[in-house]
Structure 1
Amino acid sequence: MQTTGFEDALSARVDGMLDACTRCGACFAACPITAPAGLAAADPSATVAGVLDILRLGDGTAEAETWARSCTLSGACIKACDYGVNPRFLLVMARLALARKASEPAARRKRGVDTFRKLSQEVTVLSQLQLSEEALIRLGQRPAKEPPRVALPDVVFYTGCNVLRTPHLALLCLDIMDVLGIDYRVMGGPTHCCGIHQLRAGDVETLSRFAGNTINKLAQSKTGEVLTWCPSCFVQITENMLPTFERATGEKPIDLTPFVRFLHGRIDILQPLLKSRIELKVALHRHPGVPGVAEAAEALLRAVPGVTVVRLDVPAVGLQSNSLAVLPAYQKELQLKELELAAQAGVDVLVSVYHTDHRELCAHQRDWPFHILNILDIVGASMGLHQDDHYKTMKIKQDVDAIISDASDLIKRHGVNLDTARAVIINGMLGDQPLPLQGPRQRP
């Protein structure tokens, strides 16, 4: 089939939304980060018009640039639009336009390559510090020792890249699917990158190759259904890449379903398997960026016998925890408020959903009178499933030498360079702590 080209298709999608936008400002008015971004006094209609100017002319107002750069992907803007426009997509494209304007193609390509290489090294090393060869094979990060299966699986489970830093979460996904009898194949890691780093760098040419290759790889199932863990990959593929791929080729080879929503959709099958009673008072760490995930997570927790869920009065914003890194002071403020309210509520556990949430929160367990667990830890425990959270164990130590010592056998077994391991632990684990640890606190 004749294609229009990825970049042409992307531009055509943007042009269509620009034509549909009425500049009413409803998306800006609904955005939960305008005040934290210093835009409380900005005119909604004028700011939206400034974003359109960035996309059409390459220049916009200062308020429009600030709004585009401060987007945390909460998605409230999408619900607010009555004209079929995806404002979140337009803000992503505005950031892309600003990145392309700021540097030449060679510099953009280098920035994308450097960021991707850093990601690849950190993901690879951190997973090797925690996992056996067999577990790496299971997660698709080593060649299988058995002949590859001939028949296509019913579904593909797509880890994305960064969940491999906290691999016990991905392993629990597989354990749960095994119990449910799901026929799946695992794909993910840096070899299946969604292209987000190339997008952020403004390198559209490399982005199109990455995204196209990954979409084609993920299409290897009977149903075309891809179960996704990473919310960033979900938005990148479903909003930015897949519709563009479809416009360029006339084909839509896959559909993506967030794993937590997938589980909730099978709650009638899952609930009889939740056999162990777990007496816990929990609060759920929430993000609204992927519709229905927080609601599905709460329903799954309430389905576990003995679990009581309480709500904390903390704004739920952003796609996931690290999406708030564009507003670091606000990110710290929200995390500290949530920890304080969880302690005041007397919860036993603050429950994360996504891997980035878990990475940023888990070490705070050292200092507060409750545990930090992932939703899969709790659901899995009720099913009789368990995977050790080595990431949390290591991060709580806050000591690179102690971590190296504890992982020494795996470091030798996988041939990890000690200097590389040390640098990754310092920068990719201990440095990944937006709200600093503060010392032990007692339950009020």
Structure 2
Amino acid sequence: MAIDPSVRIEHRIAALSAPAAHYADAVSYGGLYYISGVLPVDNGGALFGGDDITAQAEQVFRNIGTTLDQVGCSFANVLKMTVFVTSIGDRAKIDAVRRAVFGATKPASTLVEIAALAVPGAKIEIEVTAALPDWGTMMMAIGREQYVEVTTARIKTEILDICTTCGKCATACPMTAPAGLDAADPKALVAGVLAMLGGEEGAPDSARWVEACSSSGVCVPACDYGVDPMFMMEMGRAAMLRQRGAKQVQSDATRAFQGMAKSVRYMSRLFLKPEVFERLDPRAGRPSEGEPSEVIFYTGCNVLRTPHIALICLDILDLLEIRYEVMGGPSHCCGSYQMLKGDVGAATGMAMNTIAKMVSAAAPEVISWCPSCKLQFSSTHLPTYAAVHGEMPFDFTAFYIYLEARIEALAPFMKNPVNRRVALDERAFDPQVNAAVRRILGLIPGLELVELEVEHVGMMRNMIPLEGVKKLTRDAAFEAATQAGVETLATVYHACHREIVSYSATVSFEIVNAIELIADSLGIAYHDSFKEFQMVQDLDQYIDERAEQIAHHRLSIDEARTVARNEFTAHRPA
């Protein structure tokens, strides 16, 4: 979690029992996260595990994991532990649990035998010090604040100094009419955004335009003067939100990130057994022994909620004998959640920390699955990094474009027929990605690709902020697919898949992600756990059936139930 290291913050972990005295569950300050002594208790404060030291130790580490999750940390962030036990003879059993939790990571640790603990019957208590996820930024020669200053300077040199307020980007925008701005003067809309960037309040119509932005990207080629309108709108939104006050912005950004991080952590582990999840764990990576990685496969965060997509990508890289390392998840975030809430400092800290990790991997290229991550890095953070350091640290390429560049190597493997009439649920953001997907699908024997005459709005469906537009475009795509007689509607991106796959029972065609069609032709098979999850009839039974898997991942089954219910409800058909 990107938290300002200069601010002391006391953290209350709602999923855990309340502190028994005058102390906080955890405190963050100076880039570090200090966790108060954690006992083997459930969320009601009752002793867990009876007299079994192994069960008690496992519960302690589950509670620590929940506390780390609060700020986007994992056990890989833990620097130091102090372990208090009532019997030194339990050391071996505790160590076995600790090895399972930390894997190859070894924190500094002290073991202390004491007479008794605060909870009767408790045999173990552990206090922890961890590094916050953006601490890597503070360790770099250039501090976060200098990066923010450079980004601010770019607003002047790349937007304010050269924008002529011609209004062409507003004219091209597909969201002006749905936002009720079809009668507004395009030049005035742009001028209002520039006023926000200059520190003024900005006109109400301009604020409405910024709020309605769906990151479709059609504005970019409309500009004749070298301005990146997407960068302009992103910075305009941040400027508008900052008018609410720094504390409110930071609170909103923290809450948004924590909600995402918890959902990703629980849902990905709910869907995957530990040995499979390890492939997507950035702590494990995937570099070949003795040889540097050719690429970093950057998952972003949210694709881990549809993990079959990411696993297929890794199998394709394996098939092509690409040496790669995996990075992603909340501890390697691009900062988009903070940026969407206007916290430019936190977004910059998170993104620069991730860039530092990518640079340390020494791979010449990063391939990204997620388009919003690509936008964050390519439009905002990498240009700022290059302005400070004098060069771009690596190439940042969309996964499908990377795959298309190796289409001759891929083609011989695509032997299995996929006899389906297929339409793409594509978005407007990156026409090159859409073209690459089409070209790769064109290699599949038996697959007939059908064009749908519908408007492609937004970067991904979840990024369309106006619910009316989201519903209208979804209904239009479903109707067009039905009229065209398609058998399969294939989403391009993971978030689009999450948005519409739950409608599978209501339409006459199957809904898959395009990468699944490629996998079918390659003979790669992974179960769509997210789709299965959305189709369940009894959510409690679904969770209970995975109790052992939840325990293996050292998660709270009660918290897993809550997170799953929220995720289930969020994606039900409207």
RMSD (Å), alpha carbons: 1.9
Q: How big is the shift at 1:150? A: 5.5
SS in 1 for 2:501: helix
Q: 2:31: which partner in 1?
A: none
The answer for the alignment partner of 1:424 in structure 2 is: 563
Pick one of 472, 487, 491 that aligns with 1:352: 491
| Pair member with larger Rg | 2
Matched ranges for 1:20-35 at <5 A: 20-35=162-177
Which runs of 5 or more structure 2 residues have no equivalent in the other structure? 1-140
C-alpha distance 308-34 of structure 1, shift in aligned 2 (>3 A): same
The question of 1:9 aligning with 2:142 is answered: no
Partner residue, 2:136: none
User: Contact 1:99–1:200 at 8 Å: present in 2 too?
Assistant: no
CA contact (8 A) 1:216 1:253 kept: no
- The Cα shift of 1:367 comes to 1.8
Report the CA distance between 1:270 and its aligned residue.
Answer: 1.1
CA distance in 2, matches of 1:204, 1:408: 40
Deviates most, 133-142 or 341-350: 133-142
Matching of residues 336-347 of structure 1 within 5 Å:
336-347=475-486
Match of 1:50 in 2: 192
In structure 2, C-alpha distance between the alignment counterparts of 1:34 and 1:314, rounded to whole Å? 18
Write the distance in 1 (CA, Å) between the matches of 2:541 and 2:507: 22
Q: Aligned runs of 1:260-271 on 2, under 5 Å?
A: 260-271=400-411
Aligned counterpart, 2:224: 82
Q: CA offsets per residue over residues 281-309 of structure 1, 9 Å max, x none?
A: 01100112134111111221122111001
**Matches of 1:147 and 1:37, distance apart in 2:** 47
> What is residue 108 of structure 2 aligned with on the other side?
none
Task: Tell me whether 1:302 sits opposite 2:442 in the alignment.
Answer: yes
- Is the 8 Å Cα contact of residues 179 and 208 (structure 2) preserved in structure 1? yes
Corresponding residue of 2:43: none
The structure carrying a bigger strand percent of its residues is 2
Once residues 386 and 157 of structure 1 are traced to their aligned partners in structure 2, the CA distance between those partners, rounded to angstroms, is: 20
Q: SS of the counterpart of 2:331?
A: helix
Q: Provide closer, same or farther for how the CA distance between residues 141 and 130 of structure 1 changes in structure 2, counting only shifts above 3 A.
A: farther
Q: Distance in 2 between matches of 1:150 and 1:33?
A: 51
* Aligned counterpart, 1:440: none
Separation in 1, partners of 2:413, 2:205: 52
Aligned equivalents of 2:176, 2:546: Cα separation in 1: 44
* Contact 1:152–1:220, Cα closer than 8 Å, also in 2: no
> Matched residue of 1:219: which SS?
helix
Listed one character per residue, the Cα deviations across residues 398-432 of structure 1 (whole Å, up to 9, x for unaligned) are 54224213433322322322221122112123313
SS at match of 1:256: strand
**1:122 maps to which residue?**
263
Show CA shifts across 1:198-257 (max 9, x none): 212222322222111101112245542100001110001100111112213324212211
CA distance in 2, matches of 1:427, 1:193: 22
For 2:425, give the aligned amino acid.
H
Tell me which residue corresponds to 1:439. Answer: none
Q: Percent identity?
A: 39
8 Å contact kept, 1:175–1:385: yes
Identify the match of residue 400 of structure 1 among 533, 539, 548. 539
Deviates more, 1:233-242 or 1:135-144: 135-144
Do the aligned residues in 1 keep the contact of 2:292 with 2:323 (CA within 8 Å)? no
> Structure 1 unaligned runs (5+)?
437-444
1:219 aligns with 2:219: no
- Alignment match of 2:505 (pick from 366, 377, 388): 366
In structure 2, what is the equivalent of residue 288 of structure 1? 428
Which is further off, 160-169 or 310-319? 310-319
What is the letter of the counterpart of residue 19 of structure 1? D
1:243 aligns with 2:383: yes
- For residues 47 and 251 of structure 1, the distance between their equivalents in structure 2, rounded to whole angstroms, comes to 34
Task: Say which is worse superposed, 339-348 or 220-229, in terms of deviation.
Answer: 220-229
Q: Distance in 2 between matches of 1:106 and 1:214?
A: 25
Mapped contact 2:300–2:332 kept (Cα < 8 A): yes
Shift of 1:134: 1.4
Check the 8 A contact 1:2/1:249 in 2, yes or no.
no
Distance 2:169 2:517 in 1: 37
Counterpart of 2:518 in structure 1 is: 379
CA positional deviation for 1:143: 4.5
Mapped pair 1:332 → 2:474: no
Question: How many Å apart are 1:152 and its aligned residue?
Answer: 2.4
Distance in 2 (alpha carbons) for counterparts of 1:127 and 1:76 = 33
Report if aligned partners of 2:407, 2:440 keep a CA contact under 8 Å in 1. yes
Asked if the contact 1:155–1:221 (Cα under 8 Å) also holds between the matched residues in 2, the reply is no
Match of 1:73 in 2: 215
Which residue does 1:133 correspond to in 2?
274
TM-score (normalizing by structure 1) = 0.93
TM value normalised by structure 2: 0.72
Whether contact under 8 Å (2:296, 2:363) holds in the other structure is no
Any residues of structure 2 matched to 1:307-322 within 5 Å, and which? 307-322=447-462
Structure ranking higher on relative contact order (CA contacts 8 Å, 6+ apart):
1
Distance in 1, Cα, partners of 2:322 & 2:142: 37
